[in-house]
Amino acid sequence: MSTYDDLLEISNELNNVQNAIYLLAWDERTYMPEGAVEGRSETISDLSRIYHRLITSDRLKKVLDELNKESVNAELDDLQKAAVREMTRDFERRYNIPDELIKEMAKVSSKAQAAWEKARERSDFEHFLPHLKKQVELKKKVAEYIGYESEPYDALVDSYEPGFTAKKIKHIFDPMKRKLSTLVKEILEKDITPGKGVFDDKKFEIEKQKKLCRELAEIIGYDFHHGRLDEAVHPFTMGMDDDVRITNRYTDENISSLFSLLHESGHGIYEQGIPEEWYGHPLGQRISMGYHESQSRMWENFVGRSREFMSFLYPKLTDTFPVLSDHEEENIYQAINRVEPSYIRVEADEVTYNLHIALRFDIELGMFRDELEPHETQEVWKDKMDKYFGIVPDDPAKGVLQDVHWSSGDFGYFPSYALGNLYAAQIYKTASDEIDNIQERIANGEFTEVKKWLNENIHQHGRRYRAEEMTKRLTGESLSEDFYIDYLKGKYGPIYGI
């Protein structure tokens, strides 16, 4: 067996352990009985330890050392080189962190998450503050072990967006913030409410929503033969090779479930688009968190909230919910695209969403550059909300405490959400240029070509190309905020008469 075959074998083992963890985690968040919490978390944490031992094993180290020797590496083809590059990255990011620190992180995180839940419930920032301090301190240490280009935050960002740094993100976010703030201001000055009253005082039967959701997932190309749709409090997608599961949540007050369904189906279609021969292969994975999010946002917003999609959806929607038939297509389209400054990121519209992320990025970077102390975050948060949206949360649960990420030490994660929107805009522009009559197709409910384009151009390559290279290959240009800004102006200009 060649050394490269050894690498494939180890990669396959890692993948199988990972799949087992994912399936248990899926169950934990969907059907697991309440009483099983402790036992399950023990099982998952033991399996995670086995995974960690495998990925930091001497066996893998030996294999990678050999494959990274100049003379040996030169003999590999491009695809094999990419596989070695990615596995080396996975290995190094973990191997360099001492076991003691990993144990401490797990302990601190579980305490911090419990404290965060309580703090949010009671709207008590002080209760969470010591844990936030501890997490920042630990992650600074971790960053030193992982190594970085020019500052500790780079090491953290790189876990979610390989190849990205704080500087690169700032270079995109700074102009994005300015342009988005201007657009938000123009929209708010209009002081109008598009699609006013469409969903007011109406009930939308949940069973009917579920039926329509399933139908939509199928129509856009999510494969139920290799997937399922279940319920979860916070919708998520879990991909385990030929078994890719999506989840959704429902309320009878509106039809937001349709868009969260499109979002998760987008994640699911990405996972299902990884070629079968790459299951367990070092490259058989997604490019980055941002790229994953670009796929979900594309189906949710660029396709799902478009005027054409509403033409397709309208007959089904009014058929399912006759209470909506009093409203014109255009009216419902406007109602699902209303721009409103809000406290809560996950409820934000397309125009304000990336500003929520920019706010978190500024604060995180401030803490990791030692320009901002954890105890100052609450006040800075308020100032920035005021600056960007003209609203100030009086309750930390609606401000600095709203997201779970800091409690689990996931600093550097937020930028991926915004990058997802930016990738989506740039990619969708190219797709629209390359797919004949894309708007007409969407209006007619024909999504095969769109899905095929994404499969062929993105999904089938796994993580062979890093995000920056992929974006250039796909669109001929480096990532830029301009595509997103142009998209927003083109869409919201007519809605708001700007």
Q: Considering the complex, state which of residue 296 and residue 402 has its C-beta at the smaller distance from Zn ion.
A: 296
Q: Considering the complex, state which of residue 296 and residue 378 has its C-beta at the smaller distance from Zn ion.
A: 296
Shortest Å distance, C-beta 131 to Zn ion: 26
Three-state DSSP class for 245?
strand
**In angstroms, what CA-CA distances link 399 with 378, 386, 421, 436?**
8, 12, 22, 44
Shortest Å distance, C-beta 132 to Zn ion: 25
Shortest Å distance, C-beta 294 to Zn ion: 10
Shortest Å distance, C-beta 239 to Zn ion: 12
Sign of CA dihedral 26, 238, 423, 280: positive
Dig out the tokens for 234 from the structure: 């916070």
66 exposure class (CB count in 10 Å sphere: 0-12, 13-18, 19+):
middle
Q: Measured at CB, which residue is nearest to Zn ion? A: 296
Q: Residue 157: left if φ>0, alpha if ψ -120 to 50, beta else—which one? A: alpha
E strand or H helix that includes residue 157: helix 152-160
Q: Considering the complex, state which of residue 381 and residue 414 has its C-beta at the smaller distance from Zn ion.
A: 414
Question: Which residue shows structure tokens 């102009």?
Answer: 175
CA atoms within 13 A on the CB side of 209: 21
Find, among 241, 224, 178, 266, the residue nearest to 454 by Cα. Answer: 266
Is 329 a catalytic site residue?
A: no
Phi and psi at 327, nearest 5°, equal: -105, 145
* Catalytic member of 75, 137, 161, 264: 264
Which residues bind to Zn ion, rule: CB under 5 A?
296
Q: Considering the complex, state which of residue 165 and residue 296 has its C-beta at the smaller distance from Zn ion.
A: 296
Q: Considering the complex, state which of residue 288 and residue 377 has its C-beta at the smaller distance from Zn ion.
A: 288
Find, among 416, 425, 417, the residue nearest to 483 by Cα. Answer: 425
Shortest Å distance, C-beta 343 to Zn ion: 20
Q: Considering the complex, state which of residue 209 and residue 296 has its C-beta at the smaller distance from Zn ion.
A: 296
Shortest Å distance, C-beta 267 to Zn ion: 6
Shortest Å distance, C-beta 321 to Zn ion: 26
**In angstroms, what CA-CA distances link 140 with 289, 369, 497?**
21, 10, 47
Find, among 435, 428, 443, 433, the residue nearest to 333 by Cα. Answer: 443
Q: Considering the complex, state which of residue 199 and residue 414 has its C-beta at the smaller distance from Zn ion.
A: 414
Strand partners, 229: 246
Question: What is the identity of the amino acid at 467?
Answer: A
∠11-17-21 over CA atoms, to 5°? 135
Catalytic site residues?
264
